[in-house]
Amino acid sequence: MSFIIKKNLSLEGKTKKIYTINNPREVVIHYKDSITALDGLKNQLLQDKGILNNEISTLIFKFINLCGIKTHFIRKINNREQLCHKVNIIPLEFVVRNIVAGSMSKRLNIQEGIRLSNPIFEIFYKNDKLKDPFINDHHAVFLGVTSYEELNSIYRIISNVNNILKKYFLDKNIILVDFKVEFGKNHKNEILLSDEISPDTCRFWDRKTMKKLDKDPFRIGLNENEEVLDIYMEILKRLNVR
């Protein structure tokens, strides 16, 4: 195992920091305690939330790697940091919906909780100034951030990830309602599943009670700090049960 020397802060987002290291093809991702909602308009510190998300995302990415899907994740370094392959992020967020919830419910005036006969994939353009607008494949290609061939590859990966994660979580009495993923390209121009997978980026419901097990309580402002931290701890507890 090579020795890691952190060099420079390469990028800082709402919930993570990315550092360059002595290996130019790898980076260190540091999980912060920030929790955000409403395009960052709601932003607070939640003690140890970064530790929980690092561990949760580690467990999920390890499982996805074992299933043969290429990701940026290499290994967990410490309680807040991961070693990952360096990628150039494709500036698109892909949302996979298995059940109607959140913005889809509001946008289409459809009751939350309706199960979809097949997953719906959505694309959002990562642009803070534009507040990450909802776009389609043709917009994405027109913007020059991807190609139709790459989108087809990404959709195949997303479909596989959705299928394996639905079963993975259901075995832990968790329903995967929807989730957001991002992709990047490594030095070989391979497309890798990147970013994080956690209660920050997913909607989880308890299989029996339908209780929300993600950051929705923070979004709507109900018992936000204590309840959200308890929820993240509950997700981690269930993922650690074999």
pLDDT at 48: 94
**Cβ atoms 205, 178 nearer than 8 A:** no
pLDDT at 222: 58
R_g of the chain computed on alpha carbons: 17
For Cα atoms 193, 214, 175, give the angle at the middle one, nearest 5 degrees. Answer: 75
Confidence of residue 225 (pLDDT cuts 50, 70, 90): low
The residue type found at 210 is M
Distance CA 169, CA 164 (A): 9
Instruction: With a cut of 60, say whether residue 145 has pLDDT above it.
Output: yes
Confidence of residue 224 (pLDDT cuts 50, 70, 90): low
What is the value of pTM for the model shown?
0.94
Instruction: With a cut of 60, say whether residue 1 has pLDDT above it.
Output: no
Mean pLDDT of 190-207: 97
Q: What percent of the chain has pLDDT over 70?
A: 95
Distance CA 161, CA 158 (A): 5
Name every residue whose Cβ is closer than 8 Å to that of residue 232 and which is 6 or more positions away in sequence: 49, 52, 53, 56, 198, 199
Confidence of residue 241 (pLDDT cuts 50, 70, 90): confident
